[in-house]
Amino acid sequence: MSTEDDLKAEVAKLKAEMESLKARTSKGISLKVSEKGAVSVYGMGRFPVTLYKEQWLKLLDMADDLRRFIAENDSKLKAKD
């Protein structure tokens, strides 16, 4: 049987864990290394965006082009709320 102090300690531990999880998910986007060694970005949509490091680096090198493309095509593009 658990004592009242044990139960209180467990509740406090669970509350702290829940706050930690909330803080982690509130930033929205997280990164992980996939099982196959790729970089997965979570929080952008329903599924993670997963690319290998070379693919991410190519995409990052195109950041200015991508921003320009988005600006030029802004009227045709939809925004997710």
- Other CB atoms within a 10 A radius of the CB of residue 78 amount to 5
User: Is the pTM of the predicted complex or chain greater than 0.85?
Assistant: no
In this prediction, residue 67 carries a pLDDT of 97
Sign of CA dihedral 7, 12, 17, 23: positive
Measured between alpha carbons, how far is 18 from 3 in angstroms, rounded to an integer? Answer: 23
In this prediction, residue 2 carries a pLDDT of 74
Q: What is the pLDDT of residues 12-66, one digit of tens each?
A: 999 888 887 776 655 688 999 999 999 999 988 899 999 999 999 999 999 999 9
In this prediction, residue 48 carries a pLDDT of 96
Measured between alpha carbons, how far is 70 from 65 in angstroms, rounded to an integer? Answer: 9
How does DSSP classify residue 52?
Answer: -
